[in-house]
Structure 1
Amino acid sequence: MTTTELRVVPRPRQVDQTGESVPFDAPLVINSTGAVPAAVVSLFDELLERETNEPPVRAGDEGTEGVSESPDVRLALEDRPSDAFDDPEGYVIETDGETGTVTIRAETADGLRHGCQTFVTGIAVRDRDGDEEDRWAFPACEIHDWPETSWRGFMLDPARGFLSVEHVKRRIDQAARAKLNRLHLHLLDDEGYALESEAYPELNRDSDGTALPAYSPDDVAELVEYAGDRGIEIVPEVDVPAHATHVLETYPELRCTVEDGEPADRTMCIGSSETVEFVETLLEEVVEVFPFSFDVVHVGGDEWEMHGHSWDECVDCREKMADDGSETVTEHFYAFVRHLHGFLDERGRRTMMWNDQIDISESPDLPRDVLIQFWRVAAPGRGPIEGCSLERFLEEGFDVVNSYVHAAYVRGWISEEYMLGWAPRRRPSVSEERESQVRGGELLAWEPSDEETRRYFERALPSAIPIFADRLWNPTVIDDRETFSRTVARHALGPYVPAEFDVYGELGGLILPTNWKRSGQGPPAHANRALADRSPREAAADYESAIETLSTLRESNETVYPETATAYVDSLEWLREVADREGRGILDRP
């Protein structure tokens, strides 16, 4: 990226550039008005240090002799940041060529955070002569920027593959860097429960009694504070009543009571008081450790038809259905959801759930303030299909978060072409008068339990996160793919990346291959697309050059995420091996 070009992901909505740049010497000098929260200033310090490898200094601080009183960057919290928009997450960046100062102003702390992220991902290395300190520049411009959607989320799945607190923090950083504002933690599934339970401690053990990793209350508090400082709310999910293999193996009394035959082993009985008490207790523990300011709790509710249930044959379920007046198992399920909704509502929390088990072809007996996470209409044998659509949820008065499988499922279904053309209010299609009910979208990183298989997230997420975030932030079409690809490379790797370096061109695409329940490991790059019109020898030489660039950046501590550089080096080394071995650079069968 040159010093006069602004290449930032998500792309700002309104940018007026002069073709010049504002230069800075290292270290950068910042100041702020008294109204700016200390947490925002501290975050800006941290972001600048990570980006430039040197902590900034505060204008006027003691011990800063020789530092100009005129700051390089000024943060300001103002009542009315812009006439171009009216959004609490909006911000304005203005450059002053005479004073050499960049001002970031906003109406809220969230807006200031977003402006800070734009600045740190928009600065460029200006000059590097010998042993001199790095000098920096930001394009001379005026930016008025705000998000298209209010729910810009990202899901992690520690229930299936536990993620350490430090790992989650790194993902929070990557999400905040792309201006996402929700982290959805999928805590309960067939494989285990990732939150310590005082009431049901055996949930945190394997079938042989081995302790399973889980987040303690202190871990949650640490993550909540870390995410909150970056403008991200955490949404916990306790997925019931299906995906319950671990629960039912640990507490078999939560199975259905079937007089003739065996009860289902992956779906809880939802007619018994024991199950209701169990779920309420888990939700109570969740509510206690996650703060009230984060008011959404996800209860799952997906795939019970596919997983199989025993509700038709269960003594307790049949009795409960009679008491509730439920004539079908779907109505029985709705009654269960209504109960959980009431429980959470009494505690000031909003219920969120997956869409696929709701027969939206008819008007369901569910509270309309349930937030629906739409991922697809169910496949045959997996739930209701006929007459079901995202539009029908909107017609029925629900708010929706769009996680459509072909755009949001990192593990297997997403593709570059689809993601770049996707928008949360366009795919699936939404009528114009109901667009406001689509709150936004959420990217989903479903973890496999196998550690080796999970390595693909290190190469897939660094580009998938900012691309998905761009589609939630800026509705305009991405019309210059090559520039956008280089912009994503700078976003993922940092400012020391050479201006014309396009690692995704060498890897064969912005979205790298991911796996979904396939045998063995999938390819770590797009071999045939990476070859393009080059001979295998030419391609191998280019791969080697890209490996050298990334390795140099990593060894010099000039990448914001060394793990990303390592993942891309591994993929490029694989491409080089294929080119050398096959003499073609592609994986055609003989």
Structure 2
Amino acid sequence: MIVLLFIVFVAKVSASDNIEKSYSSPWHYECKGGLCKKEFITKEVTNPTSLEVCELFCDASSSLWPKPTGHLSLSKNMVQIDPDKIMLDVQSGTQIKYLLERNIVLLKNIVKNVGGKLVNAGGMEMLIRCKGYLEMNNIKLTLHTDESYNLTVIQMDKTKLEVTITAKSYFGVRHGLETLSQLIVFDDLRNQIQIPNEISIIDGPVYPYRGVLLDTSRNFIDKTSILRTIDGMAMSKLNTLHWHITDSHSFPYVSKTWPEFSKFGSYATEKIYNQEDVKEIVEYGLIRGVRVLPEFDAPAHVGEGWQWVENDTIVCFKAEPWTNYCVEPPCGQLNPTSEKVYEILEGIYKDMIQDFQSDLFHMGGDEVNINCWNSSAVITNWMQTVKNWDLSESNFYMLWHYFQQRAMDKLKIANDGKDIPIILWSSGLTNEENIKYLDPEKYIIQVWTTKHDITIGRLLRNNFKLIISNYDALYLDCGFSAWIGEGNNWCAPYKGWQIIYDNSPLKIIKLQHLESKRHLILGGETALWTEQADSASIDAKIWPRAAAFAERLWAEPSSTWIHAEQRMLRHRERLVKRGISAESLQPEWCSQNQALCQV
């Protein structure tokens, strides 16, 4: 045994003596079987490859996240680039030009931080040309926007690379620039920022709606954290920040028409979002290809902030025992019989439409409690005397329908008399007996129940467009301790990135045998409800799990998570390098010793 150990030791010393001394590490990586294998650099290795460079070529979709949906070709000839020599050549309208110039500044900053302080000076110039826009000044994202792009990189001579991004919209160009940034890597063997000298990619998303819901009512989320969330979304080609901005717990949104709401309903005077904050967040999102979609949830999920209005505008606020009137404290619902409610809604809708400039509006409509309304003498008297309705459950759904119609009318008035696509949560109104109250031409339904729920099939058969947010895979707040009582919270267990990645909207509708309705699936959304999250913890709860669903929505790959694991580890590192405190998935040893952490 001693002789054997001595032989092994001598062999290792001998290998070490043969390592080429000119590189910053004794290790390099070789692509074997689709994985990057760690090897010694010996004198026989004439052109050693760093891990980041190896990862570019050692998989069908390189290290890009999300994986491209079309053609992908990369040269293995890497060249050094100088981030200070990245330039934009764009012929377009002033709005698109301004946005692209901002993106080039972002790209330069990203590239400069790729290798930190170790980067050797020098490198080639990179000239970026953008072309192909159908509408030169159209910078509004809609469900019909073409977000596809073609990206090519060609080495023109020894000093210059030419990048061409061809897209029909600004948003396609932006996605192309994000892909370009992910193809620029740090070669830690040579301490250089490098890129393949020839690239050809054709890419575009499968689904037009790719979102993250962020609740800022249960706990306040500061502006910096919201902007950082948008950064992560842009890196993952997610395009919708669904901002659940108010709820029964607090009212941090500053309404220009009704400023009393935030005065009465915010947690503190500084815990608000005023017009300047919203404007900054919306513009920040636009530059990064992300729409900011407001939700004003009603008629349930209201309470704090309404104290200044007459008493009959809300009912069962803070009612006890709360379990009889709502799903979590504090309870509160709007009174559909109050004219003041609709006056207030019109003002709030107008403010939100002006502030957010979104092509969609989310009206909530979640978890209405019939018993809450039934506990109000004002409501029950109105139903019986004005409408001649009895107090059966079906008539309370008639009341809800009445509210929805009135609220929708006010939204149209607030939108200068024009219709705007409305999103509602799946709810009692999407049950078999009540779905007649909803018009599939006017409403998009966001489904939060499980992927096996027959509601999905019912909605598709009735031709509703859907956004998939099934809680059994896409709720990011699940799997922690209960915040009321003991044990785990209601939607435990925790949803790991693997479950989220494999949550395919296409497979969900196949479970319902409704593949012919595929065109009705607009996309999906992960959701972070913040009963147990705030600015200090949202990064780790959102990332990189939301990025897992981002690839599902962008590419709808036929493969499962196991084929994406190495790229996911790489993308998580990319998020961290860009300032997002994404949750760690494995020891770093696993990414440096690929496939050795698999069962």
Question: After TM superposition, is the score higher than 0.5?
Answer: yes
Query: Which of residues 168, 177, 180 is equivalent to 1:116?
Result: 177
Sort the Cα spacing of 1:50 and 1:311 in 2 relative to 1 into closer, same or farther, 3 A. farther
Indicate whether 1:390 and 2:471 are aligned: no
Counterpart-to-counterpart distance in 1, 2:89 and 2:151:
14
Deviation per CA, 1:386-420: give whole Å up to 9, x if none: x9511211222221111111222111153334222
Deviation per CA, 1:145-193: give whole Å up to 9, x if none: 1100111111111112222222211111111111111111111112111
Counterpart-to-counterpart distance in 2, 1:79 and 1:398:
30
Equivalent residue letter for 1:45: I
Deviation at 1:110, TM superposition (A): 0.9
Q: Is the 8 A contact 2:294 2:361 kept in 1?
A: yes
Q: Is the 8 A contact 1:22 1:95 kept in 2?
A: no
Q: Is the 8 A contact 2:466 2:522 kept in 1?
A: yes
Q: Write out aligned runs for 1:251-330 (5 A).
A: 251=309, 252-256=311-315, 265-291=331-357, 294-305=358-369, 308-311=371-374, 313-320=376-383, 323=386, 328-330=395-397
Counterpart-to-counterpart distance in 2, 1:209 and 1:424:
38
Q: Write out aligned runs for 1:579-590 (5 A).
A: none
Query: Which of residues 360, 366, 370 is equivalent to 2:431?
Result: 360
Q: Is the 8 A contact 1:360 1:393 kept in 2?
A: no
Counterpart-to-counterpart distance in 1, 2:459 and 2:572:
36
- Name the stretch that deviates more: 43-52 or 170-179: 43-52
Counterpart-to-counterpart distance in 1, 2:516 and 2:578:
42
Q: Write out aligned runs for 1:68-107 (5 A).
A: 71-77=126-132, 88-97=146-155, 99=157, 100-107=161-168
Indicate whether 1:153 and 2:211 are aligned: yes
- CA-atom RMSD, angstroms? 3.5
Deviation at 1:312, TM superposition (A): 6.5
Question: Structure 2-normalised TM-score?
Answer: 0.71
Counterpart-to-counterpart distance in 1, 2:500 and 2:112:
33
Indicate whether 1:231 and 2:289 are aligned: yes
Equivalence for 2:581: 563
Equivalence for 2:76: 20
Q: SS in structure 2 opposite 1:319?
A: helix
- Name the stretch that deviates more: 157-166 or 20-29: 20-29
Counterpart-to-counterpart distance in 1, 2:378 and 2:454:
31
Counterpart-to-counterpart distance in 1, 2:249 and 2:316:
23
Q: SS in structure 2 opposite 1:29?
A: strand
Equivalence for 2:570: 490
Equivalence for 1:332: 399
Deviation at 1:210, TM superposition (A): 5.2
Indicate whether 1:406 and 2:483 are aligned: no
Counterpart-to-counterpart distance in 2, 1:199 and 1:141:
52
Q: Write out aligned runs for 1:153-192 (5 A).
A: 153-192=211-250
Q: Is the 8 A contact 2:266 2:272 kept in 1?
A: no
Unaligned runs of 5+ in 2: 1-51, 115-121, 136-143, 326-330, 479-490, 589-599
Q: Is the 8 A contact 1:151 1:182 kept in 2?
A: yes
Equivalent residue letter for 2:207: T
Q: Is the 8 A contact 1:298 1:351 kept in 2?
A: yes
Sort the Cα spacing of 1:108 and 1:464 in 2 relative to 1 into closer, same or farther, 3 A. same
Q: SS in structure 2 opposite 1:159?
A: coil
Equivalent residue letter for 1:34: Q
Deviation per CA, 1:31-82: give whole Å up to 9, x if none: 3231272234324323323322269xxxxxxxxxx997x73543333569xx
Deviation at 1:117, TM superposition (A): 0.7
Sort the Cα spacing of 1:486 and 1:561 in 2 relative to 1 into closer, same or farther, 3 A. farther
Counterpart-to-counterpart distance in 1, 2:467 and 2:316:
36
Q: Is the 8 A contact 1:492 1:561 kept in 2?
A: no
Counterpart-to-counterpart distance in 2, 1:92 and 1:357:
44
Counterpart-to-counterpart distance in 1, 2:267 and 2:431:
42
Sort the Cα spacing of 1:489 and 1:74 in 2 relative to 1 into closer, same or farther, 3 A. farther
Equivalence for 1:436: 519
Q: SS in structure 2 opposite 1:112?
A: helix
Question: Structure 1-normalised TM-score?
Answer: 0.72
Sort the Cα spacing of 1:424 and 1:50 in 2 relative to 1 into closer, same or farther, 3 A. farther
Sort the Cα spacing of 1:342 and 1:21 in 2 relative to 1 into closer, same or farther, 3 A. farther
Equivalence for 2:556: 475
Counterpart-to-counterpart distance in 1, 2:86 and 2:437:
58
Equivalence for 1:125: 186
Counterpart-to-counterpart distance in 2, 1:78 and 1:206:
47
Equivalent residue letter for 1:310: W
Deviation per CA, 1:220-270: give whole Å up to 9, x if none: 111111111222211111111212232455544323499xx9996522221
Equivalent residue letter for 1:486: Q
Query: Which of residues 273, 281, 302 is equivalent to 1:215?
Result: 273
Counterpart-to-counterpart distance in 2, 1:8 and 1:29:
21
Equivalent residue letter for 1:2: V
Sort the Cα spacing of 1:455 and 1:33 in 2 relative to 1 into closer, same or farther, 3 A. closer
Query: Which of residues 86, 90, 100 is equivalent to 1:41?
Result: 100
Deviation per CA, 1:480-504: give whole Å up to 9, x if none: 72x6333223323339xxxxxxxxx
Equivalent residue letter for 2:378: V
Deviation at 1:128, TM superposition (A): 5.1
Q: Is the 8 A contact 2:240 2:290 kept in 1?
A: yes
Q: Write out aligned runs for 1:198-209 (5 A).
A: 198-205=256-263
Q: Write out aligned runs for 1:241-260 (5 A).
A: 241-247=299-305, 249=307, 251=309, 252-256=311-315
Equivalent residue letter for 1:336: F
Q: Is the 8 A contact 2:87 2:127 kept in 1?
A: yes
Unaligned runs of 5+ in 1: 56-65, 81-85, 379-384, 496-553, 574-590
Equivalent residue letter for 2:297: D
Equivalent residue letter for 2:112: N
Equivalent residue letter for 1:439: L
Counterpart-to-counterpart distance in 2, 1:324 and 1:351:
27
What's the % identity of the aligned pairs? 20
Equivalent residue letter for 1:77: G
Q: Is the 8 A contact 1:23 1:136 kept in 2?
A: yes
Deviation at 1:279, TM superposition (A): 2.5
Counterpart-to-counterpart distance in 1, 2:174 and 2:203:
12
Q: SS in structure 2 opposite 1:401?
A: strand
Counterpart-to-counterpart distance in 1, 2:463 and 2:384:
26
Q: Is the 8 A contact 2:234 2:288 kept in 1?
A: yes
Q: How many equivalent residue pairs?
A: 474
Sort the Cα spacing of 1:212 and 1:165 in 2 relative to 1 into closer, same or farther, 3 A. closer
Counterpart-to-counterpart distance in 1, 2:387 and 2:288:
45
Q: SS in structure 2 opposite 1:23?
A: strand
